[in-house]
Structure 1
Amino acid sequence: MAERLLIGALKGGKNTKIITLNGKKMTKMPSTLGKLPGLRTLNLQNNLIPKVCPEISTLTQLTVLNLGNNLFKEVPEEMKYLTSLKKLHLFGNRICRFAPGACDGLQNLILLNLNHNQLTQLPQEVNRLKSLTCLNVNCNQLTSIPRELFFLEDLSELHFNYNQLICIPEEIKLLKKLQKLLLARNNIEVLPEGICDLKKLRILDIAGNIIQIFPPGFQNLKLREFYCEENPLILKQPFIANQREDIWSLKEITSRFVMNQLAGQNPFLMHAIEQFPEVKNIISKGKNCAICGKFFLTIWLECVQFVPPSKNCKISKNLQLVPVRILLCSYKCFNQRQPNLFGISQE
């Protein structure tokens, strides 16, 4: 049956744009595909194909390739020849690795679907997918995400549900176009502060992790959907901080002075700091006090503030208040805190 369909396609010659051979129990990719250089869409889903044929390298006009539910064990190296490819579906295979060079020619790829495979990691070379907007890697075995992924500035969707992730790199803040972030059913304990820089983020799913508290500024995200059920959130009884004297080191005193002078656009310090990269690096780690707004270096007191989710946001059932991490610079500010802000014991 598959051969008859191909013969018919070959009669069309260069005019053939689409071939669909889904569910034909094919055990190999037909080499005759090499005679269809004008092919735009190739669907070979639900077959028994373990690898691509060398002739696929001639399909330089191919824009959609669906190899879902086959027997591939790697993302094939031959993908690098498909320079016009925009959508690549490899879901439901046995993929545990990327072949060397597989990402090299995929400069126009906007969608990569790797759901339901056996990947334990993504290669650093994923940063060569310059046009990628949507990455689906649900139901794999990922334990980490390479920082290189977050240099793909056009990404708008990341799907990492049902993996084994324990953390998200701070570099996620670079994804200024990210709108959807799905991280359900992983082992994530802490969300990076950089997630609060994602001004276009609208959908966030972190259900089924081990998150207790959200980073400072989280309440300012303009989320439309937020799911966080099955996390051990601090909801009822926060810890009480043990009050002690304010004692600052000379480094802390100096850093606070410099950071707050820079915030006031002090021209002398703004010029001087450029001559001392080590000092510039130190003060770049400064934080804002949630009460007085001034800068400080070391975390003096970690607090939790309970804030209501956005009224226009679709949220998890029974979520009434969101615990957000708040940092204060002194006990003076701690004593001026609002009633819904509590200290967290460091012991």
Structure 2
Amino acid sequence: MSERLLLTALKGGNNTKIITLNGKKMKKMPSALEKLPGLRTLDLQNNLICNVCPELSTLTQLTLLNLGNNQLEEVPEEMKHLTSLKKLHLFGNRIHRFATGVCGGLQELILLNLNYNLLKSLPEEIGRLKNLTYLSINHNQLTMIPTELCSLVHLSALHLNYNQLTCIPEEIKLLQNLRQLFLVRNNIEFLPEGLCHLKKLRILDIAGNVIQIFPAGFQNLKLREFYCEGNPLFLMRPITARQPKDIWTLREIAARFVLCQLEENNDLIVNAIESYPETKDKLSKAKKCALCSKPFLSEWLECVQFVPPSKNWKISRNLHLIPLRILLCSYHCFDQRGPKVFGIVPE
């Protein structure tokens, strides 16, 4: 039947640029596609196709392929030959894997739609889709985002709604062209500090996660829309708790002294530290007190600071104050805090 349908569609002759066989109950792709090397658009959505035909790899001028709502179980290897493909729709299938090497040939791809599939993970080679600007993987079973995805420097829109993500990699800061990030209905507990470096981000939707607090600097994002309903955000409801004394280890006291000397460019310390690479590496992970700006290594007090959202943001109705995570170096600084800074009591 697929061959007959294709012949009917070929009334325009072998120079046909567009083939649409939508909802024809086709169980396989027509092998006669190899007679159409100049085909630009192939729409086979809403059929019963389980596998692509080998002849698909001859369509090297194809720019749009729609196989949405079929019965594919993988992103097939044959697609690596579609070197001109710009838009690929594979939504509504049963896809749970990528064939090895398939991403290597899709260097011109700018849009990939994998919504409503069964993906539990993405391959590392997803990072080879260098021209991708739009990626949508809503309603799958993803548990993590590979750091390789964060090498897609042209990515403008990333949709990961309704998955099983628990965290976002710090490397997301590399997506400097990202304008839209959708993470609705996952299991995300924390947003990374790297998110605060996305200068072009305009829409962020994290509704329905388990986020309580945002990283410092979050309030400086140039968002136009921000939605966070359904998260157990910290509320400004202070309780009284006993305040212990500051007790630092000798290691921490020494580390703070050395860190201060390094900030002051003490030549003796600067030169000496070069002979201890492991120590230098540990000191490079030091933090700064949000109040006094002095460096510290490991002993710190986690606090929440409540700040109003930007007036330029279109926000969730229930968001009046943004809880930001800040670190203080000591209870001495904690005593000097402002009226909207509170310590977080461990559970």
**TM over 0.5: same fold?**
yes
> What are the equivalent positions in structure 2 for 1:86-105 lying under 5 Å apart?
86-105=86-105
CA contact (8 A) 2:179 2:202 kept: yes
Alpha-carbon deviation of 1:299?
Answer: 4.6
> Aligned to 1:32, what secondary structure does the other structure show?
helix
Q: Which amino acid aligns with 1:57?
A: S
- Looking at structure 1, the residues matched to 198 and 297 of structure 2 have their Cα atoms a distance apart, in angstroms, of 24
State yes or no: 1:7 paired with 2:2.
no
Sort the Cα spacing of 1:276 and 1:215 in 2 relative to 1 into closer, same or farther, 3 A: same
1:288 maps onto 2:288 in alignment: yes
Partner of 2:143: 143
Aligned-pair CA distance for 1:272: 5.2
Between the aligned partners of 1:339 and 1:159, the Cα distance in structure 2 is 38
- Alpha-carbon separation, structure 2, partners of 1:223 and 1:245: 40
Query: What's the secondary structure of 2:78's corresponding residue?
Result: helix
Distance 1:268 1:221, change over 3 A: farther
How far residue 263 of structure 1 moved from its aligned partner, in angstroms, is 3.9
Alignment match, 2:122: 122
1:221 corresponds to which residue?
A: 221
Q: Which residue of 1 aligns with 2:162?
A: 162
Indicate the SS of the match to 2:181: strand
Match of 2:44 in 1: 44
Q: How many residues align?
A: 344
| Cα RMSD for the two superposed structures | 2.0
Measure the CA separation in 1 of the matches of 2:127 and 2:241: 44
Residue 197 of structure 1 aligns with an amino acid whose one-letter code is: H
Return the alpha-carbon distance in structure 2 between the equivalents of residues 47 and 178 of structure 1.
34
Q: Within 5 Å, which residues of 2 pair with 1:316-327?
A: 316-327=316-327
Distance 1:344 1:111 in 2: 43
Moved more, 183-192 or 17-26: 17-26
* SS of alignment partner, residue 282 of structure 1: helix
Do the aligned residues in 1 keep the contact of 2:248 with 2:299 (CA within 8 Å)? Answer: no
Distance 1:280 1:109 in 2: 43
CA distance in structure 1 between the partners assigned to 2:223 and 2:262 by the alignment: 32
* Separation of aligned partners in 2, 1:309 and 1:303: 18
Q: 8 Å contact 1:33–1:56 — kept in the other structure?
A: yes
Measured after TM superposition, the shift of residue 264 of structure 1 is 4.5
SS of corresponding position for 1:135: strand
Shift of residue 326, structure 1, vs aligned partner = 1.0
Unmatched runs of 5 consecutive residues or more in structure 1: none
Runs of 4+ residues over 3 Å off in structure 1: 238-242, 257-277
Distance 2:105 2:267 in 1: 48
Q: Describe the superposition over 1:231-276 as per-residue Cα deviations: whole angstroms up to 9, x where unpaired.
A: 1111142455642222222332333234344444556655554554
Cα deviation code 1:216-237 (max 9, x no counterpart)? 2211212111110011111142
Evaluate the alpha carbon distance shift between residue 265 and residue 180 of structure 1 in structure 2; reply closer, same or farther with a 3 A threshold: farther
The separation in 2 between residues aligned to 1:274 and 1:90, in whole angstroms, is 53
Give 3-state SS (helix, strand or coil) of 2:80's partner: helix
Residues 242, 345 of structure 1: 8 Å contact kept? no
Larger CA deviation: 184-193 vs 18-27: 18-27
Shift of 1:307: 0.8
Matches within 5 A, 1:238-257: 238=238, 240=240, 242-257=242-257
Deviation for aligned residue 1:5: 3.7
For the pair 1:343 / 2:334, whether they are aligned, the reply is no
CA deviations on 1:304-343 (whole Å, 9 max, x unpaired) are 1111111010111121111111111112211111100011
Amino acid at match of 2:167: C
Deviates more, 1:52-61 or 1:268-277: 268-277
Contact 1:305-1:341 at 8 Å conserved across structures: yes
Structure 2 unmatched runs, 5+: none
Change (3 A) 1:90 1:275: farther
Counterpart in the other structure of 2:71: 71
Quote the residue 2:188 is aligned against: 188
Correspondence for 2:334: 334
Once residues 167 and 123 of structure 1 are traced to their aligned partners in structure 2, the CA distance between those partners, rounded to angstroms, is 17
| CA distance 1:121–1:279, shift in 2 (3 Å) | same
- Equivalent AA in structure 2 for residue 290 of structure 1: A
